[in-house]
């Protein structure tokens, strides 16, 4: 647990560092005078469509690597480990199929998007290198997780990528990139630099070997791996569609300006989910090994600790942002249209709290012998998200995307909780979960009424400082997180050593 805790904390710090850089980028994209709502919408659509391409192309290889890597690691030397090589080859073949299908779908894209989103049609083929870069990076990343390099991969994904985008924005602002057309084309290759950086690191550390000789482990596990990859593949595809369908529906029905407004609320809601990324990256190899060793006590412990820790973090971040969302849009002179993203953040943020509050349930199921449940739960999620998005966006506009997101992910996580409870008698909740919610709301109410008449930059600073202080003190005083005491002990020891 100490290694998971250490990697989770450092990775989370990188995630939040990346989010700070991301907010600088978002500010530059959304402030008056530099980019239009439509242009910002195009950059966010690249991320959504690129991830959908990745989902279709990866052929279930990401999950296969983190599920079966312990078996390869235990029985083969590095140079004879062929798991990465086959995962890479199969995924590249999968992407070639995506490219072929994408070419055939061009006429359909024109019919569906040309009226409200002509810029998306214009840059349609430039999304493909972006999606391919996400695919390559994800293959290298999941391999790096298994050799305990999750901190590095988090840095590259969260920090380096956003720094590259910051650089592009400044080049555009100072007319060194003299048109948005050129900006988009550079943007499409930005993730490729991130993937290349990780590949170079793995080669430098002598962790990357291509070996297409079929090993004894591959022969022995091939049928299991094939079945696993097939089920997980379809499950991950439907989950990815459910996650990004909102942006595409908004783009088709309401156009790129509305997609840009939605994107801001969704990006800010990403703050709430940030702690989950580090926790998942750190827990995957440990859970894979624990399932292999049938160490159910360790799995239960990870499930419960991740549940309370992520619930506390998500509540704190959500309420902190909610206190000053409108003030921030006005104070930092974002375009007036972005005020409409407030309730998008609210509903998507609540969905993130539900997701984080249930711990790393997806990772636990994905690394267990019941991985087929990934497909079933994913189908249920997509079966809810796709029609709900279309119906609610058409009826209520962009806020309908927030409604559908909250409904779909609440049902999705409820099903997973029930499944793990019935199969393994595991659940992520305790009385401390309820106490955390009550304390978070109490700290919010105190802060809100104390500074109800404070606005602008001073109001943002005062509300943020008081809420963080109150909530942090409450968590520590009532010892709601089992990891706070060990972390504080480590900090105290290091301070004493320095003295």
Express each pLDDT in 221-244 by its tens digit: 888 888 888 877 887 787 787 778
Find out whether 352 and 272 touch, Cβ atoms under 8 Å.
yes
Give pLDDT, residue 322. Answer: 96
More confident residue, 441 or 23: 441
Q: Is the pLDDT of residue 149 over 90?
A: no
pTM exceeds 0.85, yes or no: no
**What are the residue ranges spanned by the domains of the chain?**
2-429
pLDDT band at 495 (very low <50, low <70, confident <90, very high): very low
Find out whether 129 and 99 touch, Cβ atoms under 8 Å.
no
Task: Give the single-character DSSP code of 275.
Answer: H
Q: Is the pLDDT of residue 45 over 60?
A: yes
- The DSSP string of 353-399 is HHHHHT-SHHHHHHTSTTTTHHHHHHHHHHHHHHHHHHHHHHHHTTH
Find out whether 332 and 31 touch, Cβ atoms under 8 Å.
yes
Q: Residue 104, exposed/middle/buried by CB under 10 A (0-12, 13-18, 19+)?
A: exposed
Find out whether 351 and 409 touch, Cβ atoms under 8 Å.
yes
Residue 435 CA neighbour count, 13 Å, CB half: 13
Task: Give the single-character DSSP code of 295.
Answer: -
Task: Give the single-character DSSP code of 178.
Answer: -
pLDDT digit string, tens, across residues 210-221:
888 888 888 888
Average pLDDT over residues 8-15: 72
Q: Which two tokens stand for residue 102?
A: 């994408």
pLDDT band at 407 (very low <50, low <70, confident <90, very high): very high
Give pLDDT, residue 3. Answer: 56
- Mean pLDDT over all residues of the chain? 85
Estimate the crossing angle of helix 216-254 against helix 83-104, to 10 degrees.
30
Q: How far apart are CA 241 and CA 273, in angstroms?
A: 18
pLDDT digit string, tens, across residues 179-202:
999 999 999 999 999 999 999 998
More confident residue, 15 or 51: 51
Task: Give the single-character DSSP code of 335.
Answer: -
Q: Is the pLDDT of residue 491 over 50?
A: no
Find out whether 302 and 360 touch, Cβ atoms under 8 Å.
yes
pLDDT digit string, tens, across residues 246-304:
888 888 888 888 888 888 898 889 888 877 766 776 677 778 788 878 888 888 888 88
Residues sharing a CB contact under 8 Å with residue 227, sequence separation 6 or more, in sequence order: none
Q: How far apart are CA 415 and CA 417, in angstroms?
A: 6
For 342, the 3-state DSSP assignment is helix
- The alpha carbon of residue 10 and the mean position of all alpha carbons in its chain are separated, in whole angstroms, by 17
- The DSSP string of 27-72 is HHHHBTTT--HHHHHHHHHHHHHHHHHHHHHSTTHHHHHHHHHHHH
Q: Which two tokens stand for residue 430?
A: 């305790």
Residue with tokens 């990403």: 270
Q: What percentage of the chain carries pLDDT values higher than 90?
A: 33
Average pLDDT over residues 312-322: 94
Nearest to 141, CA basis, from 88, 104, 97, 90 = 88
> Residue 173 to residues 41, 169, 186, 189, 325: CA-CA distances in angstroms?
18, 6, 14, 19, 26
Q: How far apart are CA 142 and CA 58, in angstroms?
A: 12
For 334, the 3-state DSSP assignment is strand
Q: Is the pLDDT of residue 208 over 90?
A: no
CA angle, 206 then 211 then 100, to 5°: 110
Q: How far apart are CA 176 and CA 406, in angstroms?
A: 42
Residues sharing a CB contact under 8 Å with residue 369, sequence separation 6 or more, in sequence order: 291
């Amino acid at each position: 647990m100490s290694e998971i805790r250490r990697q989770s904390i450092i990775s989370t710090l990188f995630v939040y560092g990346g989010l700070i850089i991301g907010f600088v980028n978002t500010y530059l994209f959304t402030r008056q005078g530099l980019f239009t709502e439509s242009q910002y919408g195009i950059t966010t659509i690249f991320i959504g469509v690129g991830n959908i391409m990745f989902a279709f192309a990866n052929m279930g290889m990401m999950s296969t690597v983190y599920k079966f890597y312990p078996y390869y690691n235990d029985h083969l030397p590095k140079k004879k480990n062929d798991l990465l090589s086959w995962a890479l080859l199969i995924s590249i073949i999968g992407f070639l199929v995506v490219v072929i299908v994408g070419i055939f779908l061009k006429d359909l894209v024109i019919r569906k998007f040309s009226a409200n989103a002509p810029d998306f049609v214009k840059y349609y083929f430039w999304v493909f290198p972006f999606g391919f870069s996400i695919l390559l990076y994800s293959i290298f990343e999941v391999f790096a997780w298994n050799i305990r390099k999750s901190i590095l991969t988090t840095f590259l994904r969260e920090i380096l990528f956003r720094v590259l985008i910051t650089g592009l924005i400044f080049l555009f602002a100072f007319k060194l990139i003299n048109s948005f057309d050129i900006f988009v084309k550079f943007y499409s290759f930005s993730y490729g630099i991130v993937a290349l950086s990780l590949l170079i690191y793995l080669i430098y550390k002598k962790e990357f070997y291509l070996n297409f000789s079929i090993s004894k482990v591959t022969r022995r596990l091939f049928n299991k791996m094939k079945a696993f990859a097939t089920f997980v593949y379809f499950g991950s595809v439907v989950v990815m569609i459910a996650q990004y369908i909102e942006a595409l529906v908004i783009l088709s029905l309401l156009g790129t300006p509305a997609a840009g407004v939605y994107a801001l609320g969704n990006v800010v809601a990403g703050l709430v989910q940030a702690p989950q990324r580090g926790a998942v990256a750190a827990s995957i190899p440990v859970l894979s090994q624990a399932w292999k060793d049938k160490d159910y006590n360790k799995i239960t412990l990870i499930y419960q600790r991740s549940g309370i820790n992520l619930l506390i973090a998500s509540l704190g971040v959500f309420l902190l942002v909610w206190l000053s969302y409108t003030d921030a849009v006005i104070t930092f002179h974002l375009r007036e249209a972005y005020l409409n993203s407030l309730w998008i953040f609210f509903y998507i943020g609540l969905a993130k709290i539900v997701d984080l509050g249930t711990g790393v349930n997806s990772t636990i199921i994905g690394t267990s012998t019941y991985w087929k449940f990934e497909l079933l739960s994913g189908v249920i999620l997509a079966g809810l998200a796709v029609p709900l998005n279309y119906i609610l966006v058409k009826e209520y506009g962009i806020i309908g995307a927030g409604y559908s997101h909250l409904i779909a992910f609440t049902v999705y996580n409820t099903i997973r909780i029930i499944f793990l409870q019935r199969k393994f008698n595991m659940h992520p909740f305790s009385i401390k979960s309820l106490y955390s919610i009550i304390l978070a709301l109490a700290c919010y109410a105190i802060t809100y009424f104390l500074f109800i008449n404070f606005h602008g930059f001073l109001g943002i600073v005062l509300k943020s400082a008081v809420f963080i202080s109150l909530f942090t003190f409450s968590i520590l005083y009532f010892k709601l997180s089992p990891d706070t005491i060990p972390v504080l002990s480590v900090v105290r020891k290091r301070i004493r050593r320095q003295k």
